[in-house]
Amino acid sequence: MTEALDATAWWRAALDGLEPLELTADRPRPAGPGAEPGTAELVRAVPAATADAVRKAAAEHGVGLPAALLGGFRAVLGRWARKDDVAVGVPADGNLVVVRTRLGDLSFGPLAAAVDAALEQARARAGVPFPELAAALGAGPEGSGGHHPLVQAVFGAEPGESGAYRAAAGSCPPDLALTWAEEEDGGLRLRLEYRTALFAAGTAARFADGLLTLLAAAGDRPDRPVRELDVVPEEERETLRAWGRNPVAYPEGRTVWGLFAAQAARTPDAVAVVFGDEEVTYRELEARAGRLARRLRGLGVGRDVPVGVCLTRGSGLVVALLAVLRAGGAYVPLDPEHPVERLAFVLTDTAAPVVVTEESLRGRLAGERTLVVVDAPEEAAPADGGTEAEPAGAGPDDLAYVLYTSGSTGTPKGVAVTVGSLTGLLHGMRDVFPAPESDRVLFATSAGFDIAAVEVFLPLITGGRIIGADRTQARDPRALAGLIDRHAVTLVQATPSAWRPLLDALGDGPRRFTVFTAGEALPAELAARMLRTGRRVVNGYGPTETTVYATLAEIREASTPVPIGRPTPNTELSVVDGHGLPVPVGVPGELLVGGAGVARGYLGRPDLTAERFADGVYRTGDLVRWLPDGNLEFLGRLDQQVKLRGFRVEPGETEAALLAHEDVAACAVTVRDDAVPGERVLVAYCVPAAGRTPAVTALREWCGRTLPDYMVPAVFVFLDALPLTGSGKTDRAALPAPGGDRTGAEAEFTAPRNAAERAVARVWAEALWADEVGAYDDFFALGGDSLTATRAALKLQEEFGLEIPVQVLFACTTVESLARALMTVRRGGDWPAV
C-alpha cells in the first residue's frame, strides 16, 4: 500500500502542470467521451538506410531503436502542437504509463536518451493502474472534453503491447497512436491510427510523412538540434512556396498622385467626391489639392516630411490627403475625436512641422507648429488655374503616411508606409475590384484606420466616386444604409462588428453592392448574412505594417472556418514555427509577410523595427494555418494583442493608463466574450491601492484622457489580488468571468419612475447586460460605446415608434434625460442639440 502511495505521489510530481496536447484538427473536438469514437489507420515504410542511421544515432548514446522512434514521434507531436513539453502514453506490462519530456536544444541522440530515461522511470511506477492514476490526477478514467485521459498520443511496439491503451482509454481513444515493426530488409513499418472524428485522412498522412521526413533528417544530421530538423517533405515545401507567392507586373515609378492626375485628365468633369449635397468633380478636386499642395511646399513640406491632418469628415479631408501626397510629404491622420493628449503625443512623436486643420479644431492642437486652417479666409482664395510639376524626389521609396497603432509597452507606435507600397496596394485593389465595383465607394472609416486608404484612393484612380459619410452618418447604421441605397453604392468596406448593425439596418433582400470586410475574424453565420445581402463578398486580412491588406478571400459559401485567403499581388507569405521553419499544411504557425507592401518600419523606433522587420519581412505575431485548398485560416495571436472593431488593441497600453491612476495598485486588461452576450469587449481587472476605493466613472474618464474610445474598458472588475502563475506572472486564464452587476453605477440606485423610463432602462439593461439600470445611471459609465449605443437606438426605435438618431444617446446619457427627450419628440418637440 505504501509503495502504491509513493508511486502515485511520484506521478503527481512528474505530471504537475501537464496540459492537453492540442493538435489542430480538421473538425471540432467531440464534447465528451463516447462521441464519434471511430478510428482509421495508415501505414508508412521507413527505408532500411534511414532506419540504420536512426539506430546508429541512438546507439551512440546507449539506447535502442524504440527510444529513438518514440523521440521522433514526440518531436513531431511537439511541432504540430507548438509545445516543448510533450507527454506520450506507452504500454508497459499491460498498463499504460506516461512519458513526459522537454525537447529544448537536444539533438536526436540525446533526445532518444532522455526519452529512454523517462520511460524507465515511468515503467518503474507502472504498478499504478492507468485509470486510477488518471482519476487521482483529476483527469477522470475516460478523460474530459473529448480528450483521452492524461495523454492524447500513444506509442507502442508490435506485436503484443499495442492494444494496452485501449483498455485504459474507455470510450475515448487517443488522438494518435503509433506502432511499429521491423522488416526483414532492415527497414521499418509504421502504423498510425487516428481519430476520424478529428482528422481527415490527408491530415493524418501529412503527420506520418512529417515523421518520416524528420527521421531522415535526423539520420543525415544527427548533431543538429531536433527543433531545427525539417518535418515538411520537399514536395509539400514547394507547394507552400507556390501558395505564398502572387507575382504581378505593375508599372514602376507610379505614385498615387500620378494615378489620380491621369484619371482626372481622362474624366475632368466626372464627379469624384460626394459629401451630403456637395459634389466635387475631378477637375475641382485636382485644383483644390494642387493649391493646398503648393501652400504646403511653401512651408517646407517635401519628401518624408510628416504633415498632421486634423479635419472633420468632408471633401476637405480628401483634398488634404491628396495635397500632402502631391507636396511629397507623408500625411499623419489626427482623429478629432481622440483625446487632446493623444493628439499631442502623435504630433510630438512625428515632429510634424505643419498641421492641416480647421477653425473649430484649432484649440485641440497644442504645441509650436504651423497650422494651415483650411476654412480661414486667407486659405480660401480661388485656384490660380495651374499646377506645378510633381515635386522632385516624391517617389515610391518616400513616405506616404504614418498611422499610429497601439503599443504593448504603453506607448503608441507610428507605422511608416511608403508611396510605393500604397501604390502597389491600389494596383492590386483595382484588379480585385474593377469597375463597376469601384464606381461608388462608401467612405465611412476614420482616416486613422488603414482601410480608409482604399475607400479614398481606389475610386479616385479608377474614375469612380467617393460617397462620403459625415461624422453623424458614420456612426449611425440607418443613416449609412440610407446613403448606400440613395447613391447606389457599389463597394462597402467595414469590419465584421460594424457589418452586424449595418445589415440589420439594410434589412432583408439582396443589394447590388460588393461586401468587403476585414479587421476582425469573420464568423460563418455573419458571412451567410453577407452572402444574402451583397452581390459579392470578399474577406481581407492585413496588419497596418503590410499596407492594409496582405491576403484576400472571395467567400462563396458560409463554411467553417471562413478563410482569410491568399496573398495579395506581389505579397509573399510564409507560415513558420518558433524557429523560423515552415510548418505543414494544417499546422498552426506565425505568419510572416514580405513583398511590396511591407512598411518601412516604425517611425523613430529602430529597436522595435529591428525586432519586427528583418530583410523586408514583417513578423505579424498572428497565428494562422494553411488549409488544404491553399487558403489561410486565422487562428489568433501569439501574444496578448487583440482586435476590437477592427482596431488593434495592446492591453499593455490600457494597463499602463490605469496604473498611472492613484487608486489602482495592479491591473490586467483582456478581451472577453462572456461579459456582454454576442460581443467581445475590453475588461479591466483592477486591484485597488491601499485605502482607496476606485470609482468606475473616474477610471473610465481617466483612460479617456489619453486613449481612444475603443481602448477604454467597457467593464471593470475589482479584485483583492490578481491570480498568478507559478512563475509569478498574471494568470490571465484564471481571471474570473465578469458578473452581471451594475458595475459603473456609483450613484444611489433610483428605480425608473414612469413607463418611458422603464422602457429605456429595459433596453439599456439588455444592451449592456446589466441586471438593472436606474433612472440616473449613465449609459457610457455602465460600459456603453458607439456600437452598443447603435444597438440601443435601433431597439428604442421599435419601442417608441420614432426615428432616433444615434447621436441623441451621446447627448442624453442617462435614462431620465433620454426618456424625457423621447417624450418631448413624441409631443412634437425637437431632439436636444448634441
Nearest-angstrom CA–CA distance, 402 and 350 = 8
Does residue 606 form part of some domain?
no
On whether the CB atoms of residues 709 and 785 are closer than 8 A, the answer is: yes
Name the pLDDT band for 383 (thresholds 50, 70, 90): very low
Residues 812 and 834: their CA atoms lie apart, in Å, by 9
Clarify whether residues 135 and 51 are in a common domain: yes
Instruction: Report the alpha-carbon distance of residue 175 to residue 195 in Å, rounded.
Output: 5
Q: How confident is the model at residue 696 (pLDDT cuts 50, 70, 90)?
A: confident
SS3 for 437?
Answer: coil
Choice between 602 and 128, residue whose per-residue pLDDT is larger: 602
Mean predicted lDDT score pLDDT of the chain: 86
Domain span including residue 800: 755-826
Residues 100-143 have pLDDT tens digits of 999 999 999 999 999 999 999 999 988 888 888 888 777 654 55
Do 224 and 372 fall into the same domain? no
Examine residue 477 and state whether it is found in any structural domain, yes or no: no
Distance CA(304)–CA(316), nearest Å, equals: 22
In this structure, the strands spanning 95-102 and 176-182 are unpaired
Q: Which of 348, 364, 395 is the last residue of a domain?
A: 395
Sign of CA dihedral 333, 335, 338, 344: positive
pLDDT at 646: 65
Q: Is the pLDDT of residue 747 over 80?
A: no
Residue 58 sits in the same domain as residue 186: yes
pLDDT tens-digit series, residues 162-184: 455 554 545 567 899 999 999 99
pLDDT over 70 (residue 144): no
Q: Which of 356, 380, 395 is at the close of a domain?
A: 395
**Residue of 711, 661, 655 lying closest to 688 (CA atoms):** 661
pLDDT at 392: 45
Q: Stretch 176-196: mean pLDDT, rounded? A: 93
What share of the chain in percent tops pLDDT 70? 89
Q: What is the pLDDT of residue 727?
A: 53
Could you tell me the pLDDT band of residue 698, with boundaries at 50, 70 and 90?
confident
Any domain includes 424: no
What percent helix, strand, coil does the chain show, rounded to 5? 35, 20, 40
Quote the pLDDT of residue 235: 95
The answer on 166 and 77 residing in a single domain is yes
CATH code assigned at 359: 3.40.50.980
What is the predicted pLDDT for the residue at 677? 57
Report pLDDT for 173.
Answer: 79
Same domain, 9 and 128: yes
CATH number of 60's domain:
3.30.559.30
* 380 secondary structure, DSSP code: -
Across 466-475, average pLDDT:
92
- Residue 290 and residue 173 in one domain: no
Whether residue 151 is found in the same domain as residue 286: no
User: Is there a single domain that holds both residue 141 and residue 185?
Assistant: yes
Give tens-digit pLDDT for 815-832: 888 888 888 877 776 676
**813 in the same domain as 724:** no
Domain check: are 294 and 376 in the same one? yes
Provide the number of structural domains found in the chain: 4
* Residue 420 binned pLDDT confidence (cut-offs 50, 70, 90): very high
Residue 448 domain-assigned?
A: no
The verdict on 174 and 303 lying in the same domain is no
Does 725 map to a domain?
yes
**Is residue 795 in some structural domain?**
yes
In a domain, 509, yes or no: no
Residues 100, 180 share a domain: yes
Residue-wise pLDDT for 307-336, tens only, equals 999 999 999 999 999 999 999 999 999 999
Q: Where does a domain end: 378, 395, 412?
A: 395
Query: Is 480 a domain residue?
Result: no
- Cross-strand pairs, 642: 649
pLDDT digits (tens, 9 = 90+) for 753-775: 888 888 888 887 877 777 778 87
pLDDT of residue 160 exceeding 60: no
